[in-house]
Structure 1
Amino acid sequence: MIISTKLTAERLEEIKNHPTSYDENSPKLTKAQIARLRPAHEAYWNVTPVKKTISIKIDADILAALQSGGKGYQTKINSILRKAITTGDY
């Protein structure tokens, strides 16, 4: 059987639905345990992110709420997205 290495929508769904098995050598971690994980060589992970300009559509009420805080709402959006990615809350 040949497995494609392309990440198609079908392949991503297959990966998402693949069962995970846990045992004493690889126990299931809590969100708190995952939050405490750090890279073995953290210096390699302290890289200044490259900013990219994109165009996205955001619900008007969400954008208004973020803009109501004044200048820096785009930085706030970035912080919210970064937190969601790093904690897995998306």
Structure 2
Amino acid sequence: MSQKLVPARIPTPGKILSREIEARSWTQKDLAEIMGHPVQTINEIIRGSKEITSETTIKLSQALGTSFEFWTNLEAKYQVHLVVFPKNLI
């Protein structure tokens, strides 16, 4: 019995951000206001169409009480994952 092996999928930074927002019973608008960013920016990060920039990692860490390294590492690891396992191969 042969099984096709597929690479593990890692959650996108946006998925983690969405969970953090939900855990606090916030909306995307709430987070955007706290960070001083447009709601569209938060929405694009959550949808995965926008990467988390260095500036955004600092604002996320301040808003959510996490380290900026958490968000920087999460984004970097996700970007490496996309290079190693392109979406069209998964």
* TM-score, length of structure 2 as denominator length: 0.22
Is the radius of gyration larger for structure 1 or structure 2? 1
Higher relative contact order (CA 8 A, sep 6+): 2
